[in-house]
Each structure stands twice: as structure tokens, then as C-alpha cells.
């Protein structure tokens, strides 16, 4: 099928329950590469697209590593497994707001920060409603016009690309070829 990007399908993590509780779910989801831009760092990572998660999430340690602006929730929110047992990550206490670009469309979205195990970012229902992604769940594909997905702080500088001549004048090495002898 043309115009779609292949991704992995795997068990999902988080689903909202009632007003202040968050549950871990076993629904299916998709993984996808995303890019993150902060004032001091740029990174790429794999995100979990989870239509069953009623909020977006990011690893607290990863947010600290990227020097993202971390804010404290007015009231902590409880985090539970799908079987209603408390999750090891404890209560949700922190969040960050990031500009989230999907293709050419950008929206400011809220990300809860917690220990997510092996995941760094989970895009949940708020992202799905904002982006309206064209996804073939059976095949695990997302439409190419919905890419790239970029999360950025409001103070992140835009990428500046150096012209080839300037790179050569500055002595920046762009290949690993051995010098002539």
C-alpha cells in the first residue's frame, strides 16, 4: 500500500479511568519514530501510539535528560494497572507542555511525566484527536503525509543548516575517508 509507513504493533500501556486514576492497559498499539527539540538538545526516539491512553505521557527521566520545562500538577493523579493494583510508578505529579507537530499541523499538547518502563513517549487520545492520523491498524501503517512527528519546547531554536561551502571553509569533517598521502 503506497503512502504509508510500516511500524510495529505491540501491547499498549496506559488508559484513563474516572477523574484522577490512570490504568495500564493490554490494548494493541503501534510504535513510531519521533523527534524532540528543546532549547539545549535534539533527540529522536521511538514512541508508542496508544489510542486507549486518554492522555499523553513521557518518561520523567527522559524529560530531565532533554532539559524540558517540568511543571508540577496541582493534585497528584493515581496510576493503576488494568487489574486495579497500584502501578510501581506511583502517583503522577509532573507534566510538560510541548508543541506537537504531526506532518504540517502543530498543536500544544500536555504530557504527564512518570516512569514508563521501556517507553520514553506515549501519544494517547489527545494526540489522536488533535492530529486525526490516517492509520491502517491492521497493517501497522501511518500515512506519510502525517510525518514527521516532532515535539518541541516553545524556546527551541529552529534547525539551521549550513551551506556546503561554509562547511568546507569551517573545516567541518563530513565524511570518514582517509586523507590522501
Q: How far apart, in whole angstroms, are the C-alpha atoms of residue 176 and residue 151?
A: 31
Q: How far apart, in whole angstroms, are the C-alpha atoms of residue 116 and residue 21?
A: 16
Q: Which residues contact 157 (CB under 8 A, 6 or more apart)?
A: 39
Q: How far apart, in whole angstroms, are the C-alpha atoms of residue 119 and residue 162?
A: 33
pLDDT over threshold 50, residue 5: no
pLDDT over threshold 80, residue 177: no
State the pLDDT at residue 102. 94
Q: Which of 54-58, 72-76, 106-110 has the lowest mean pLDDT?
A: 54-58
- Region of 69 (left: φ > 0; alpha: ψ -120 to 50; beta: rest) is beta
Q: Can you list the positions of beta strands (E) in the chain?
A: 4-6, 9-11, 14-17, 21-24, 28-37, 42-49, 56-59, 71-81, 92-102, 105-114, 121-123, 135-136, 141-143, 149-152
Q: Is 163 helix (H, G, I), strand (E, B) or coil?
A: coil
State the pLDDT confidence band at 181, using cuts at 50, 70 and 90: low
State the pLDDT at residue 58. 95
Q: How far apart, in whole angstroms, are the C-alpha atoms of residue 114 and residue 167?
A: 41
State the pLDDT confidence band at 11, using cuts at 50, 70 and 90: very low
Q: Which of 11-15, 61-65, 103-107, 152-156 has the lowest mean pLDDT?
A: 11-15
Q: How far apart, in whole angstroms, are the C-alpha atoms of residue 174 and residue 76?
A: 48
State the pLDDT at residue 155. 87
Domain boundaries, the chain: 4-156
Residue owning grid cell 556546503 = 164
pLDDT over threshold 60, residue 166: no
pLDDT over threshold 50, residue 147: yes
Q: How far apart, in whole angstroms, are the C-alpha atoms of residue 140 and residue 94?
A: 31
Share above pLDDT 90 across residues of the chain, in percent, rounded to a whole number: 40
Residue owning grid cell 490516517 = 134
Instruction: Write the pLDDT tens digit of every residue in 40-55.
Output: 899 999 998 888 777 8
State the pLDDT at residue 88. 75
Half-sphere exposure of 31 (CA within 13 A, CB side): 11
Q: How far apart, in whole angstroms, are the C-alpha atoms of residue 152 and residue 108?
A: 9
pLDDT over threshold 90, residue 171: no
Selected from 2.40.70.10, 3.30.300.250, 3.40.640.10, 3.30.420.40, the CATH number assigned to the domain covering 4-156 reads 2.40.70.10
Amino acid at each position: 500500500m503506497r503512502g504509508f509507513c510500516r511500524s510495529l504493533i505491540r501491547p499498549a500501556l496506559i488508559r484513563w479511568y474516572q477523574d484522577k486514576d490512570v490504568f495500564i492497559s493490554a490494548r494493541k498499539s503501534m510504535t513510531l519514530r519521533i523527534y524532540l527539540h528543546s532549547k539545549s538538545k535534539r533527540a529522536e526516539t521511538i514512541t508508542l501510539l496508544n489510542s486507549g491512553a486518554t492522555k499523553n505521557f513521557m518518561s520523567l527521566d527522559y524529560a530531565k535528560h532533554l532539559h524540558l520545562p517540568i511543571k508540577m500538577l496541582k493534585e497528584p493523579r493515581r496510576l493503576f494497572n488494568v487489574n486495579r493494583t497500584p502501578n510501581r510508578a506511583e502517583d503522577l505529579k509532573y507534566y510538560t507542555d510541548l508543541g506537537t507537530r504531526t506532518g504540517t499541523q502543530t498543536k500544544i499538547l500536555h504530557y504527564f511525566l512518570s516512569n514508563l518502563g521501556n517507553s520514553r513517549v506515549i501519544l494517547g487520545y489527545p494526540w489522536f484527536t488533535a492530529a486525526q492520523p490516517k492509520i491502517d491498524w491492521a497493517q501497522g501503517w501511518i500515512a506519510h503525509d502525517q510525518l514527521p512527528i516532532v515535539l518541541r519546547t516553545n524556546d527551541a531554536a529552529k534547525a539551521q543548516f549550513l551551506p556546503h561551502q561554509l562547511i568546507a571553509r569551517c573545516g567541518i569533517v563530513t565524511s570518514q575517508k582517509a586523507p590522501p598521502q
